[in-house]
Amino acid sequence: MRQMVSFTLKGAGYEVLQACDGVEALDLAREQVVDLVLTDVHMPRMDGITLVRELRALANYKFVPMLILTTESSQEKKMDGKRAGATGWIVKPFNPPQLLATLARVI
Amino acid sequence: MTLDLEMAEIAKVFFQESREGLDAMESGLLSLDSSADVENINTIFRAAHSIKGGSATFGFAEVAAFTHGVETLLDEMRNGVRPVTAGAIQTLLQSCDCLREMLAATEAEQPLDQGRIASLNSEINQILGESPVEAAPAVAAPASASAASSAAQGTRVNQGPAGPCGWRIIFEPVADLLRLRNEPTRMFAELARLGQMTVRADISRLPPLDAMDPESCYVGWDIELTGEIPRQALADVFDWVDARCRLELIPLGAAPVETVESAEPLVPAPPSDAATVHAAAPGAAANAHPQKSGADAGSIRVATEKLDNIINLVGELLITQSMLCGFAEGIDPSELDLLRQGLSQLARNTRELQESVMRIRMLPISFAFNRFPRLVHDLSRKLGKKVEIKLTGEGTELDKTVLEKITDPLVHLVRNALDHGLETSEQRLAAGKREAGTLELGAFHEGGNIIIEVRDDGAGLNKAKILRKARERGLVPPDQELTDEQIDNLIFMPGFSTAEQISDVSGRGVGMDVVRRNINDLGGHVQIFSKEGQGSTIRIRLPLTLAILDGQLVRVGKEVYIISLLAIVETIQISRERLNTLPGQAEVFRLRDDFLPVVKLCDQFCIEPDSRNAADGLLVVVEADGRRAGVLVDDLLAQQQVVIKSLESNFKPVSGIAGATILGDGTVALIIDVPDLIRSAAERREGAMTAHAA
């Protein structure tokens, strides 16, 4: 999944940093401020919702768009994400054009 | 089209990752047997979840649908709604197998095994339907996408038809809209794509400048959009905005059309730092720090072919180095020291480089061991035996090729141990043992070898029975006495199987002799130690790699041969009186209490030796497959690591020769195939004896 997202984004000219879970992503984001955060909900160690909440609390990430990847079944997760400070969500499954179109809405 | 090709590439990665995910699920499920640990279920769930997500993305609907059921079941287990039962675990394990096959079939574009999928599906549904817990949350899912948008719409005035001629949108966001980076401008840009748009900003809520919080949004909008636009398209645009917003979607025509004066500024006093955050994204490739994608396992995937290439190059480097060493022998003494210094450095560097490159090829034996918990789980169920499996030394590394080739023999040994070695629970209890048998797989390094042990605490080998059978089959002459160890090792003889009944598990003709041959082919050695009533241990000794060998250079006449140091037991000077010629010209050498067949390399390879007198030469005692022989050579030369070049791929297989290498002086030296040499020596001796007897 991550590879497919990363590949699509790189193909569209974005620079992509990858992390394999929330904890790693948080560390990465602290080191280098990014223009957009894209995170799955289900991740080991730290889930996507917590990641968004933690990032939103950082001064550098106050206005950074953050999107969560979620399945259609998790309406509740969308709202959780929203409450945690996510800009929006992308419903899985999606194909590369959908992903790029969604990204174009925030960046 | 290129996108399709690219997707195919990514799909490959998906298949690979899914397989790894299934492995993780499987090992997770197996350890669930003993404890229903939430974190463990979580891990299994996540693996299933990614497979589902990925397969849906790539359009493998059937895989996604099947995984959905599995995921649902796991989700309920995770939330404690569904008990973790042995039956459910079994079903999930079978689902893993089924998924593996589905993925393989999908990848190969073969039809799926619908019958199996359907039967497993119904099994899962049965489990899901077992207790009256209200319908799984995930099952109710598909409809919720539209529910999402309607929830986000807040107040809705009129359902109306699918916007015959346009919409009037009244949008009053909450103050912290911008803080989550929901940019109204971008939403408007999206709307503008849908149809002709006129926007009027409502700035009535704007506070005085000194009271204004620059990060908040005080502006509302009244938008008119003309065109045939479905409601869903609008809902999508506003999908992300907070439910607390005021959003009204009024179909035009339902309400009187208002004419709008010139549009007021669109942007709601953009907060200054929002603008700086919004950096231009695409394009810039300055400080790219692509993360290693394989970071999860802390490893990278490298094609074996590439590695082999590097190893080959390193081999050449070693040759150069030993060539330089050869030059150094005949050089001006005053410069010698410097040259030697440089050379010893080169030697160290090349050795280090070689070691680090070899390490890339090394994989932990867990790659082979990991399949066994599942195998044992399934087999013990089938056999109705209780078995615990213990793995030790899974981190022990060995060459990938050796690893791949040892897996099948190991599977065979484990099957054997379960089928023949371990007893049933009743038998065990009757013998005063613990009810559950233990099977232990262990690995460790010893010298330049890896030792793998398969140990069980079962009944052990029945020596009397083995001997009787061996005599019946004529494998052992009736009058020959054998030591216990020799009896145990009879099971490796071709055509030997003591299983009273040929079972589904083992005893299908593939015998221990094949296991031994496979191991010997790898340059390894297998032995069994057994105590009746206490169990057996099978010990496999393997070289760590097949690419490089520690060799002893020996000279016969003008030729140099290489004998693997591992095969050499000792080297002795020959005393005439201990050398006997058997009838039929075969010579044997008496070494302590043993008689060794003597192999004369000069005769074997038709070379003229220094001296025809055996007493002038040296006898290298070699051992393979538990048999020994003496190899007669003229002289011992250096010991060095040699890079094995295959004769088979460069020339053709030659009996008695395992391969070739290039020496420091550029000449080619042949590497002696010790097991083959011993075998042919034994055959010759037997042949001579029968010829004599006849």
Q: Considering the domain boundaries, does residue B405 fall inside one?
A: yes
pLDDT over 70 (residue B197) = yes
Residue B289 falls in the annotated catalytic set: no
Could you give the C-alpha distances from B288 to A60, B394, B642, B650, in angstroms and in order?
19, 37, 43, 45
Number of domains in chain B: 5
Residue B623 token pair: 């051992």
**Nearest CA among B681, B692, B628, B693 for reference residue B656:** B681
Handedness of CA B276, B279, B284, B289 (dihedral sign): positive
**Amino acid identity at B291:** Q
Could you give the C-alpha distances from B608 to B135, B372, B640, B654, B662, in angstroms and in order?
88, 54, 25, 20, 22
Looking at A27-36, A70-79, B410-419, B422-431, which range is the least confident one?
Answer: A70-79
Picking from B221, B245, B267, the residue at the C-terminal end of a domain is: B267
Do B46 and A94 make contact, defined as CB atoms within 8 angstroms? no
pLDDT band at B151 (very low <50, low <70, confident <90, very high): very low
Q: Considering the domain boundaries, does residue B183 fall inside one?
A: yes
B628 and B653, same domain (yes or no): yes
Q: Considering the domain boundaries, does residue B139 fall inside one?
A: no
Alpha-carbon gap, residue B549 to B123, rounded angstroms: 54
Exposed/middle/buried for residue B159 (C-beta within 10 Å: 0-12, 13-18, 19+): exposed
pLDDT band at B390 (very low <50, low <70, confident <90, very high): very high
Kindly report the number of other CB atoms within 10 A of residue B640's CB atom.
18
Q: What are phi and psi of B655, to 5 degrees?
A: -65, 135
B536 and B582, same domain (yes or no): no
**Nearest CA among B370, B382, B387, B315 for reference residue B545:** B315
**Amino acid identity at B487:** I
B410 and B514, same domain (yes or no): yes
Question: What confidence tens digit (pLDDT) does each residue in B577-591 have?
Answer: 777 777 666 788 888
Alpha-carbon gap, residue B555 to B632, rounded angstroms: 10
Residue B445 falls in the annotated catalytic set: no
With helix as H, strand as E and coil as C, how does B222-267 read? EEEEECCCCHHHHHHHCCCCCCCCEEEEEEECCECCCCCCCCCCCC
B685 and B558, same domain (yes or no): yes
Which residues of chain B are within 8 Å of residue A87 when distances are taken between CB atoms? 180-182, 240
Do B278 and A91 make contact, defined as CB atoms within 8 angstroms? no
pLDDT over 90 (residue B674) = no
Q: Considering the domain boundaries, does residue B568 fall inside one?
A: yes
Q: Considering the domain boundaries, does residue B281 fall inside one?
A: no
Task: Write the CATH number for B98.
Answer: 1.20.120.160
B444 and B344, same domain (yes or no): no
**From the list A15, A35, A107, which residue is nearest B288 (CB)?**
A15
Q: SS3 for B355?
A: helix
pLDDT over 60 (residue B188) = yes
**From the list A3, A32, A92, which residue is nearest B293 (CB)?**
A3
Beta strands A88-92 and B559-564, pairing class: unpaired
Asked if residues B532 and B511 have their Cβ atoms less than 8 Å apart, the reply is: no
Task: Write the CATH number for B497.
Answer: 3.30.565.10
Q: Considering the domain boundaries, does residue B274 fall inside one?
A: no
Question: What confidence tens digit (pLDDT) does each residue in B37-66 have?
Answer: 778 888 888 888 888 878 877 778 888 888
Q: SS3 for B137?
A: coil
Say which of B416, B423, B489, B559 is annotated catalytic: B416
B620 and B522, same domain (yes or no): no
Beta strands B618-624 and B568-573, pairing class: antiparallel
**From the list A7, A28, A75, which residue is nearest B10 (CB)?**
A7
B292 vs B80 pLDDT, higher one: B80
Could you give the C-alpha distances from B3 to A4, A98, B7, B285, B425, in angstroms and in order?
12, 13, 6, 21, 59
The predicted model gives B146-155 an average pLDDT of: 39
Structural domain range at position B309: 304-363
B453 and B482, same domain (yes or no): yes
pLDDT at site B35: 64
Name beta bridge partners: A90. A69
Task: Write the CATH number for B262.
Answer: 3.30.70
Question: What confidence tens digit (pLDDT) does each residue in B490-526 have?
Answer: 888 776 765 544 444 444 445 787 888 888 878 788 8
B469 and B539, same domain (yes or no): yes
pLDDT at site B625: 67
Could you give the C-alpha distances from B294 to A19, A52, B17, B297, B637, in angstroms and in order?
10, 24, 10, 6, 47
Looking at chain B, the whole-number percentage of residues with pLDDT higher than 90 is 5
Alpha-carbon gap, residue B405 to B401, rounded angstroms: 6
- Kindly report the nearest CA distance between residue B282 and chain A, in angstroms: 5
Asked if residues B453 and B440 have their Cβ atoms less than 8 Å apart, the reply is: yes
Residue B650 token pair: 């460069």
**Amino acid identity at A15:** E
Report chain A's terminal Cα–Cα distance, integer Å.
Answer: 21
Do A66 and B141 make contact, defined as CB atoms within 8 angstroms? no
Kindly report the number of other CB atoms within 10 A of residue B552's CB atom.
23
The predicted model gives B653-673 an average pLDDT of: 85
pLDDT band at B136 (very low <50, low <70, confident <90, very high): very low
Do B291 and A28 make contact, defined as CB atoms within 8 angstroms? yes
Q: Considering the domain boundaries, does residue B291 fall inside one?
A: no
Residues of A (13-72) whose Cβ lies below 8 Å from B: 13-20, 24, 28, 32, 35-36, 42-44, 62-66, 69, 71-72
Do A1 and B278 make contact, defined as CB atoms within 8 angstroms? no
**Average pLDDT of every residue of chain B:** 76
Asked if residues B456 and B439 have their Cβ atoms less than 8 Å apart, the reply is: yes
Residue B613 falls in the annotated catalytic set: no
**Amino acid identity at B348:** R
Residues near B18 by beta carbon (within 8 Å), at least 6 away in sequence = B50, B51, B54, B55, B99, B103
Which residues of chain B are within 8 Å of residue A64 when distances are taken between CB atoms? 181, 277
pLDDT at site B268: 42
With helix as H, strand as E and coil as C, how does B278-319 read? CCCCCCCCCCCCCCCHHHHHCCCCCCHHHHHHHHHHHHHHHH
**From the list A13, A24, A44, which residue is nearest B46 (CB)?**
A44
pLDDT band at B443 (very low <50, low <70, confident <90, very high): very high
Alpha-carbon gap, residue B382 to B524, rounded angstroms: 32
Task: Write the CATH number for B602.
Answer: 2.40.50.180
Residue A26 token pair: 């948080």
**From the list B6, B239, B281, which residue is nearest A7 (CB)?**
B6
Could you give the C-alpha distances from B235 to A77, B147, B249, in angstroms and in order?
19, 11, 9
pTM higher than 0.90: no
Asked if residues B470 and B432 have their Cβ atoms less than 8 Å apart, the reply is: no
pLDDT at site B554: 93
Residue B669 token pair: 């030296």
Alpha-carbon gap, residue B245 to B83, rounded angstroms: 42
Do A32 and B142 make contact, defined as CB atoms within 8 angstroms? no
Asked if residues B480 and B503 have their Cβ atoms less than 8 Å apart, the reply is: no
A89 vs B664 pLDDT, higher one: A89
Q: What are phi and psi of B471, to 5 degrees?
A: -70, -45
pLDDT over 70 (residue A91) = yes
B380 and B342, same domain (yes or no): no
Looking at chain B, the whole-number percentage of residues with pLDDT higher than 70 is 81
Could you give the C-alpha distances from B518 to A80, B543, B657, in angstroms and in order?
58, 13, 18
Picking from B329, B363, B397, the residue at the C-terminal end of a domain is: B363
Handedness of CA B486, B491, B496, B497 (dihedral sign): positive
Q: Where are the alpha helices (H) located in B598-662, listed in sequence order?
A: 601-604, 647-650
The predicted model gives B651-675 an average pLDDT of: 84
Which residues of chain B are within 8 Å of residue A82 when distances are taken between CB atoms? 180, 240, 242
B468 and B586, same domain (yes or no): no
Q: Considering the domain boundaries, does residue B285 fall inside one?
A: no
Which residues of chain B are within 8 Å of residue A14 when distances are taken between CB atoms? 281-282
Question: What confidence tens digit (pLDDT) does each residue in B340-369 have?
Answer: 777 788 878 777 787 777 777 788 888 888
Asked if residues A89 and A67 have their Cβ atoms less than 8 Å apart, the reply is: yes
Stated as kind and residue range, the H or E segment containing B525 is strand B525-531
Question: What confidence tens digit (pLDDT) does each residue in B450-482 have?
Answer: 899 999 998 888 888 888 888 887 777 777 778
B671 vs A1 pLDDT, higher one: B671
Please write down the long-range contacts of A5-11, taking CB distance under 8 Å and 24 or more positions apart. Answer: A5/A38, A5/A69, A5/A99, A6/B293, A7/B6, A7/B9, A7/B10, A8/A96, A8/A99, A8/A100, A9/A99, A9/A100, A9/A103, A11/A96, A11/B6
Domains and CATH numbers, chain A: 2-102 (3.40.50.2300)
Alpha-carbon gap, residue A65 to A79, rounded angstroms: 16
CA-based radius of gyration for chain A: 13
pLDDT band at A72 (very low <50, low <70, confident <90, very high): low
Which residues of chain A are within 8 Å of residue B138 when distances are taken between CB atoms? 73
Exposed/middle/buried for residue B554 (C-beta within 10 Å: 0-12, 13-18, 19+): buried
B556 and B654, same domain (yes or no): yes
pLDDT at site A74: 64
B381 and B354, same domain (yes or no): no
Q: Where are the alpha helices (H) located in B479-633, listed in sequence order?
A: 484-488, 512-521, 601-604
Asked if residues A67 and A85 have their Cβ atoms less than 8 Å apart, the reply is: no
pLDDT over 50 (residue B224) = yes
Say which of B26, B71, B76, B623 is annotated catalytic: B71
Beta strands B635-643 and B548-556, pairing class: antiparallel
Residue B114 token pair: 């619908």
Q: What are phi and psi of B542, to 5 degrees?
A: -130, 150
With helix as H, strand as E and coil as C, how does B380-429 read? HHHHCCCEEEEEECCCCEEEHHHHHHHHHHHHHHHHHHHHHHCCCHHHHH
pLDDT over 90 (residue B553) = yes
Which residues of chain B are within 8 Å of residue A41 when distances are taken between CB atoms? none
The angle at the Cα of B323, spanning B317 to B324, to the nearest 5 degrees, equals: 95
